[in-house]
Amino acid sequence: MVHTLLARGLHMIKTLNKYEALLVVLGALMIAYVLAFVPLHNLLGDLVFLPAALLVAVVGWLWGLWAGVLAGVLTFPLLLLLLNNFGQAVGIRLFQSGLFVGTPVMVAIGAMVGWLRQMHERIHKQVDQLEHQALHDPLTGLPNRLLFSDRLAQALARARRRKESIAMLFMDLDNFKVVNDSLGHEVGDGLLKAVARRLRTQLRPEDTIARLGGDEFAVLLEGVASLSDATEVAERIAQILRAPFPLLEGQEKVVTSSMGISLSTPEAPSGEDVQENMLLRNADTAMYQAKVNGKARYEVFDKSMHSQALERLKLESDLRRALEQGELRLYYQPKVRLKTGEVFAMEALVRWEHPEQGLILPPQIIPLAEETGLILPLGQWVLRESCRQTRRWHDQFPDISPLGVCVNLSAKEFEHHDLVEDVARNLRETELDPSTLTVEITESILMEDVPRTVAVLEEVKSLGVKLGVDDFGTGYSALSYLKRFPIDCLKIDRSIIEGLGQDSTDEAVATAAIVLAHALGAQVTAEGIMTSEQLGRLRALGCDAGQGFYFCEPRLSEAAIAHVLETSENRPD
């Protein structure tokens, strides 16, 4: 292990430092003895000179270079004086007394040892700095993964001896990327440092908090009596993070985190790194589950999470294979004009025909693709196939109005620098009329970085395609912001449609969205229409279009176009 080798290296350096003083002083005495033995032996003798040299060396080591020099200048004359030789040192006898030989030797001893002492302090300081840099996060000053692993191993050893438990909290800041993307990495770094300062206040001296990388932190709690001890710490952390953090120009940020908790157990396997890896892995797995369950919460690890994580790992591998072997399919759901019942467009929806699990839907596919980095090739495939299929429909059925196609973009696709070029290339290669393509993004993506979003949307719009906002009513956009975006369509989320006629809030949101969209010159589509009552209410509110199982479920391309041809002017009122 890297941290073991580093720890051994630093321990060796510190051990050498411990005995360095003794080695230096003994070395100085040996040099002094060799240099001064011949001229001073007959006069003073070894038993007198060596203790004097030792005294000079000790002064140099304790107080440094100039103290050693001064001791060297004074010691030999004082030594001669004590031996009653100083008074005889006149003229030629002065040289014979050894003063001119002994004093430079003593000065040399004091200066050499004093200089070595200064070098020792400088090297020792550099070693301390190196150790701190190797074991601490440079941004927050918290222990890094290396030091955290070492402390975790020691804590596990103590817990086994004392038959105690320790707890691991693995936390990840929610939506931290939005801060970096919208306000810059400098502001993001400042926020991380502020979070670290607050986290320190919630821990005991024996506990350890570390920054493992990015916006991930880990907390090690020793001497945990029960699970409630760990959950109380998690609740305190969540509470202190809720107080707004000041950012730039009076802006504030409320930080939430997703946390996973795991406990060591007596029956856990012992051995090098086994429990350490298990605790970290389990806490990380529980943290991911907290993300899945809505963020801003903590989850305690249980064994079912581990099996789910293994299944997810296998699914990730299967998804890579699916892209290569053509297991993905596009299903199309008709979009209908509510006044006439005419099908005017299709929404492209990806499906995965898994050889073992059957048909897998987007709520499972998209998050998995985003985490594995496959979302870009997946999104490019969806866009390419949608454009090709729509062009085929136009060529095959020239007598019906050209169908449009709607393609959804994920957050990572929208952030990709080649987005505009990808759309333009697919339009060019398929020769699809740009006005029949609608690119949709969710309301949450719309609000992440407003200036950049406006710029990207305007570039896409310049290609001649239409722009839509999906899942409207579930995000956090201010209605006043929508006028800044060049959108053509608002799609009201199915959760709002479900409440029509039953929930006054849902009805108010739907009404506001329809009025606002029309004021901005945009169309409104309701998704998830299931009943004739919902359809009637939407018509009464002035909604332009809709889609849902009431009209037609998503189908493969052949079945979808067959539905369009069969209904011709589509479902009657």
- Residues 6 or more apart whose Cβ sits within 8 Å of residue 156: 166, 264, 275, 276, 279
Whether the pLDDT of residue 179 is over 60: the answer is yes
**With contact defined as beta carbons under 8 Å apart, do 166 and 262 qualify?**
no
* Residue 178: per-residue pLDDT: 73
Q: Where are the beta strands (DSSP E) in 5-77?
A: none
Domain that holds residue 274: 145-301
The pLDDT of residue 2: 42
pLDDT of residue 539: 92
Last residue of a domain, one of 111, 135, 159: 135
Residue type, 295: K
| Per-residue pLDDT tens over the stretch 125-159 | 777 777 777 888 889 999 998 889 888 888 888 88
- Assign 293 to helix, strand or coil: coil
Across 166-183, average pLDDT? 84
pLDDT per residue over 212-263, tens digit each? Answer: 988 999 999 988 888 888 899 999 999 998 888 887 766 778 888 999 999 8
Q: Assign 423 a pLDDT band (cuts: 50, 70, 90).
A: very high
Same domain, 292 and 221: yes
Last residue of a domain, one of 106, 135, 164: 135
In this structure, are 451 and 394 located in the same domain? Answer: yes
**Residue 24 reports pLDDT greater than 60:** no
pLDDT of residue 25: 56
- In CATH, what number is assigned to the domain containing residue 217? 3.30.70.270
60 & 111 share domain: yes
Q: Are residues 76 and 185 in the same domain?
A: no
- Judge if 253 and 176 occupy the same domain: yes
**Number of residues in the chain:** 573
Closest to 547 in 3D by CA, of 564, 561, 530:
530
The C-alpha atoms of residue 459 and residue 411 are separated, in whole angstroms, by 17
pLDDT on residue 274: 63
Residues 297 and 341 in one domain: no
DSSP designation for 472: E
Q: Are residues 342 and 424 in the same domain?
A: yes
My answer on whether 128 and 167 are in the same domain is: no
d(CA 156, CA 208): 13
pLDDT at 481: 64
CATH of the domain at 373: 3.20.20.450
Assigned domain for 94 exists: yes
Tracing tokens 């020793």 back to the chain, one arrives at 222
Query: Mean pLDDT over residues 19-35, rounded?
Result: 55
Which secondary-structure segment (H or E) carries 325?
Answer: helix 303-325
Q: Which residues contact 280 (CB under 8 A, 6 or more apart)?
A: 152, 168, 170, 218
193/187 Cα distance (integer angstroms):
10
pLDDT tens track for 182-201: 677 888 898 999 999 999 88
Q: What's the number of CA atoms in the CB half-sphere (13 Å) around residue 100?
A: 8
Q: What is the pLDDT of residue 44?
A: 47
**Contacts with 508 (C-beta within 8 Å, 6 or more apart), sequence order:** none
Residue 570 lies in a domain: no
pLDDT band at 549 (very low <50, low <70, confident <90, very high): very high
Q: What is the predicted pLDDT for the residue at 249?
A: 64
Q: How many domains does the chain have?
A: 3
